[in-house]
Amino acid sequence: MEPKLILILILVISVSVTADYVRPKPRKALHFPWKPKAPSLPQQVHISLSSEKHMRITWITDDEYAPSIVQYGTSPGKYTSITLGGSTSYSYLFYSSGKIHHTVIGPLEHDTIYYYRCGGQGPEFQLKTPPAQFPITFAVAADLGQTGWTKSTLDHIDGCNYDVHLLPGDLSYADYLQRRWDTFGELVQPLASARPWMVTEGNHEQENIPFFKDGFESYNSRWTMPYQESGSPSNLYYSFEVAGVHVVMLGSYAAYDLNSNQYSWLKTDLSRVDRKRTPWLLVLLHVPWYNSNKAHQGEGDRMMETLEPLLYAANVDLVFAGHVHAYERSKRVYNGRSDPCGPIHITIGDGGNREGLATRYNDPQPEWSVFREASFGHGELKIVNLTHAFWSWHRNDDDEPVRSDEVWITSLVGSGCHAGKGHGQRKILMEP
Ligand SMILES: [Fe+2]
């Protein structure tokens, strides 16, 4: 072969190799060295929405006598209000949790920075309440864990201007080791103490020991969500409203059959949605229903079979899921096919956990699947007004402003897909 030709061949090969995107490898678990702390010092501070004008502040102290009070106000160091809340604790084999404080503060003004202190001592934290109206921005990331990639995801989210964090399951990857719940609380405190974190459970929250421990005790004790406020009998599924958005958090690991509490609660909750007050309707759950990755293939089918007609009848705009460690966005879908009146499904289980990415996909790509990629990252949903929202997915390998996938989404409210019109399935909400 001519030397010139060989050189050209080498050049072509090297260009095509460097042009290929190289998927990142898993990163190591983070190391959390033990530091001495005063027993009454607040640790693992995080906040969540309790109602439209109230916020739940959660923190842990080693001191069981530390008071569950939160002092707060709109100027640094000047606390004009004080609220006394409650506390809980739990034991798990040889582990005893600290005192877990939950204090609901408010009424709070919208879109306002509050300065607050937990237990009457320790550092001052600050939070920003969500706006009363659009626009509102949600950061979305699931399957976080506590690795170098988790840190990278959190740093990226920290760089975006968001109001509420949505987390569809798999938080700490504690997996029975209770200390990992504590280190996860420490890891997320800088973000979770500043903006509400609204979470639902994944499989890694479930810590069963047959005949001894049942289910989600650690998760429920530490990450109490507004289930009572939304009429739900369980912390594993609930709903909340914020700035014109109704958000339903479903429980992939709570019973969902036709006779279950979750099914009847969901039916009631959806029937109460007033699209004039909340034009956008979002649903989050852990196990995806539309997934073309080989990982966890078909796992969400039974839940989808039972609950998808309810979501379709209610004109849900978007469904976010985790579990599969990759990113995938669908068209509007229903019953396994594209449907202009169904929700868009987004799998965003690429937060950074220690198990790594799910890189193998079904071929060919299903017609409903628009974009799929196995990379670590997070999503941002900016709901601009009652009809338009902008969704973007950001890879950790890129600078925060870079969007790897983006799409404008139109709400079903303005689309002619009104509940009760034209679709047989939509009558389901009218039935007793
Ligand atoms: Fe999972």
Per-residue pLDDT band for 418 (boundaries 50, 70, 90) equals low
What is the 191 CA–ligand 1 centroid distance (Å)? 22
pLDDT for the residue 27: 83
What is the 171 CA–ligand 1 centroid distance (Å)? 9
Report the CATH number of the 43-128 domain. 2.60.40.380
What is the 204 CA–ligand 1 centroid distance (Å)? 6
What is the 143 CA–ligand 1 centroid distance (Å)? 6
pLDDT for the residue 198: 98
pLDDT for the residue 22: 60
Taking CA atoms, 271 is separated from 33, 230, 264, 314, 424, in Å, by 49, 13, 11, 8, 16
The yes/no answer on whether domain 136-429 falls in CATH 3.60.21.10 is yes
Percent of the chain with pLDDT over 90: 81
The answer to whether residue 296 is catalytic is: yes
Residue 430: CB atoms within 10 Å? 10
**Following DSSP, what letter does each residue of 401-413 receive, concatenated?**
T--SEEEEEE-GG
pLDDT for the residue 209: 86
Per-residue pLDDT band for 369 (boundaries 50, 70, 90) equals very high
Residue 88 has pLDDT above 50, yes or no: yes
Per-residue pLDDT band for 186 (boundaries 50, 70, 90) equals very high
pLDDT tens-digit readout, 93-134: 899 999 999 999 999 999 999 999 999 999 999 999 999 999
What is the 351 CA–ligand 1 centroid distance (Å)? 11
Classify residue 36 by burial, with Cβ atoms within 10 Å: 0-12, 13-18, 19+. Answer: exposed
Can you tell me the mean pLDDT for 262-289? 97
pLDDT tens-digit readout, 197-243: 999 999 999 998 887 777 899 999 999 999 999 999 999 999 999 99
Would you say 129 and 111 are in contact if contact means Cβ atoms under 8 Å apart?
Answer: yes
pLDDT tens-digit readout, 140-173: 999 999 999 999 999 999 999 999 999 999 999 9
Can you tell me the mean pLDDT for 295-306? 97
Q: Parse the chain into domains and list their residue ranges.
A: 43-128, 136-429
pLDDT tens-digit readout, 1-26: 454 544 444 433 333 333 455 666 77
Catalytic residue among 165, 204, 296, 394: 296
